Amino acid sequence: MNVLTPVNKRIIVEPEVQGKETTTAGGIVIPQKAKQNNQAPTKGTVISISKDSDLKLCMSPGDLVLFPKFAGTEIIIPSKVSGGTERILQIMEDKNILAVVRTDEEG
Identify which of 51, 97, 47, 38 has the alpha carbon closest to the alpha carbon of residue 72.
Answer: 97
Q: Is 23's pLDDT higher than 90?
A: no
Which pLDDT value is given to residue 93? 94
More confident residue, 52 or 107: 52
The overall average pLDDT reported for the chain is 81
- 37 versus 82: which is more confidently predicted? 82
Q: Domains in the chain, ordered, with CATH? A: 1-16+35-107 (2.30.33.40)
In sequence order, the 6+-apart residues with CB closer than 8 A to the CB of 75 are: 88, 89, 90, 91
Contact residues for 50 (Cβ-Cβ < 8 A; gap 6+): 5, 6, 7, 8, 9, 10, 11, 94
